[in-house]
Amino acid sequence: MNLNVVILAAGRGKRMNSLVPKVLHEVSGRPMLQYAVDAVKTLKPQKTVVIIGNGAEAVKKRMKAEDHLSFVIQKKLLGTGDALAIARKELKKGSVLVLNGDCPLITTGTLKMLLNKHKSDQNMLSFLSFVDNSISGYGRIVRNENGSVVRIVEDKHATPIEKKRFNELNGGVYIMETEVLGYLNKIRKNSFSGEYYLTDIVDIVAKAGKKLEAYNGPPEEIRGVNTREELFKISDMLRKRIIAKWMGKGVTFIDPDTSFVHPLVSIGKDTIIYPNTYLEGSSKIGNNCIVYPGTRINNSILGVGVIIKDNTVIEESRIGGGTVIGPFAHLRPHSTIGRNVKIGNFVETKKSSIGDGTKASHLTYLGDAVVGRNVNIGAGTITCNYDGENKFNTIIESDVFIGSDSQLVAPVKIGKGAYVAAGATITKNVPAGSLAISRTKQQNLKGWAERKRKVQKSRSAIVRK
């Protein structure tokens, strides 16, 4: 079958009350429009046209990775009927699947179901309907005494009797033969709203005596996003769907109501996810990991058995198996942490690689550093990587011991197995196997404290007099 797809995404989304185009509002970290694009991609259409208008440039820019899309600009937002009409010249002969860009939960499976019905019933026009008495604002499908579809009436224009009688709602997903596009110019402007309603095509096709039908689909997939409240509801439904999937695959969630897992994330078996956790982007979490509360992991890869302790942020980083991170750690982008490493409380890393078995347990900054294996980084160690203008690298070779409260002023290299004494300010390279010490010699002034107390005592006696 020659399949064309048209995604309607030009609307201003007035009810969102936003400066951001509606279809760019995010659901689980991805723009709403992305979901519609992904759902149709697997159907391998010969052409996918996206109608844009409000915020057209922003929408195009955000979707630029999807280079198979053709964008058509609807200059004046004259309604869904007008939006499809302007796509017409882009379409090839065959079938046209039309869907709204504000319907992120629709699945390929449901679209296939509609396509199959359309084919087997040899319709000219088929569309999805659903029943949900808890919501309003959708088109209502009007059927005659024989049960045949005759037209769609928008909720806001429906009479109280129509509202009572017709509770089958329009899902806004249509499949039509290109012949139907010829009827688009028969749609009249709605006198109340001044818009051309695509839904009026139903009445026109029915009156022309062509075969058409509405098929019931799952309401939880068909519901659209028109308001911020719906944005939350739809996001929450998707969130639950994703978490249920990972539970099915052997992941434990201590409180699934407070964990957020983006759609492209993967999680290994027997991993345990604590409450208040965010697994974002395309993160990959290995088997047998533990992610403790208050953690956000963005676009990062965790090996097997990694433990992320409470209140840790991990961004665009890789962590090897058996490593323990946190609590209160911050792995900034391009941190590559080896196996069995310990990155402890209040440790920050950035653009650094840390070798296997190395420990930085407390209060440390490692930026632009290459750290070897089995290094001990003492509490309060800082790589001074920035001179106010440029960034410089620090190299710490394997088996080095850095004493607490040391500053390593980059560019600098600490050779294999060297020791840096506590409190050092290292400005020169340290050769392998050496001890670097940089402090003024300590003096102990004998009896000093006793003398000080005596002076204090005599002073306060004078004040009292």
Q: Which stretch binds ligand UD1 (CB under 6 A): 3-11, 304-312, 338-346, 378-386?
A: 3-11
Name the minimum Å distance from CB 278 to Ca ion.
28
User: Tokens 């997903």 — which residue?
Assistant: 173
Strands 376-377 and 401-402: parallel
Q: How far apart are CA 368 and CA 392, in angstroms?
A: 7
Cβ–Cβ < 8 Å for 367, 349: yes
Chosen from Ca ion, ligand UD1, none, partner binding at 203 (C-beta under 5 to 8 Å by type): none
The correct pick among 4, 95, 100, 123 for binding ligand UD1 (CB under 6 A) is 100
Binding-site size for ligand UD1 (CB under 6 A) equals 30
Q: How far apart are CA 346 and CA 363, in angstroms?
A: 5
The correct pick among 102, 168, 203, 221 for binding ligand UD1 (CB under 6 A) is 102
User: Tokens 């196997």 — which residue?
Assistant: 433
Contact residues for 58 (Cβ-Cβ < 8 A; gap 6+): 20, 21, 24
The correct pick among 40, 49, 51, 180 for binding ligand UD1 (CB under 6 A) is 51
Active site residues: 362
223 versus 342: smaller Cβ distance to ligand UD1: 223
Q: How far apart are CA 32 and CA 284, in angstroms?
A: 23
Q: How far apart are CA 6 and CA 50, in angstroms?
A: 6
Q: Is 34 in the site for ligand UD1 (CB under 6 A)?
A: no
136 versus 148: smaller Cβ distance to ligand UD1: 136
What mask, x for binding ligand UD1 by CB under 6 A, covers residues 163 to 202?
------xxxx------------------------xxx---
130 versus 365: smaller Cβ distance to ligand UD1: 130
138 versus 365: smaller Cβ distance to Ca ion: 138
Q: Any alpha helices (H) in 65-156, and if so which ranges?
A: 80-87, 108-120
Name the minimum Å distance from CB 25 to Ca ion.
12
Phi–psi pair at 100, nearest 5 degrees: -85, 145
Chosen from ligand UD1, Ca ion, none, partner binding at 48 (C-beta under 5 to 8 Å by type): none
Phi–psi pair at 253, nearest 5 degrees: -115, 120
Q: Any alpha helices (H) in 223-355, and if so which ranges?
A: 228-248
Q: Which stretch binds ligand UD1 (CB under 6 A): 8-16, 104-112, 394-402, 451-459?
A: 8-16
174 versus 365: smaller Cβ distance to ligand UD1: 174
Name the minimum Å distance from CB 106 to ligand UD1.
10
Closest alpha carbon to 338 in 354, 325, 359: 354
Vertex 275, ends 271 and 280: CA angle to 5°?
70
Name the minimum Å distance from CB 243 to ligand UD1.
26
Of 214-243, which residues contact ligand UD1 (CB under 6 A)? 224, 226
Q: What is the DSSP string of 349-363?
A: EESEEE-TT-EEEEE
The correct pick among 31, 55, 139, 321 for binding ligand UD1 (CB under 6 A) is 139
Q: How far apart are CA 162 and CA 152, in angstroms?
A: 11
Eight-state DSSP code of residue 180 = H
Q: Is 35 in the site for ligand UD1 (CB under 6 A)?
A: no
Name the minimum Å distance from CB 210 to ligand UD1.
19
Q: Give contact residues for ligand UD1 (rule: CB under 6 A).
A: 8-11, 51, 53, 74, 77-80, 82-83, 100-103, 138-139, 152, 154, 169-172, 197-199, 224, 226
